[in-house]
Structure 1
């Protein structure tokens, strides 16, 4: 799954810990989501969308088929 998390976070001048604190997760979780090593649960994806005031589809998209 691809995501725009790093771009959205940078636009707000937040570091990974800032976003993690807002989401109630670890900084490592934010890093894993940003790098594509972890796909967030649906509740977490909704919290991310709420924080950025965007629809989930504006943040997350499926990976292209290889």
Structure 2
């Protein structure tokens, strides 16, 4: 099944009688009812923001050398 968005072929449907009117018409050519403004095309959504990347931990410290034993007395 195919779902199509409403056509934007440059016409406005009268809310009272259903007649298709030119997109720049202010009143219906059939019944004279006031027409709504032309439907605008929805704006495309913006791209998602990049995720926050945590900082890398610092480099590990080098182990300290063992203490030198004292000479016997």
Q: TM-score, normalised by structure 1?
A: 0.25
Q: Which has the higher contact order (CA 8 A, sep 6+)?
A: 1
Who wins on radius of gyration, i.e. which is larger? 2
Write 1 or 2 for the structure with the bigger share of helix.
1
Q: TM-score, normalised by structure 2?
A: 0.24
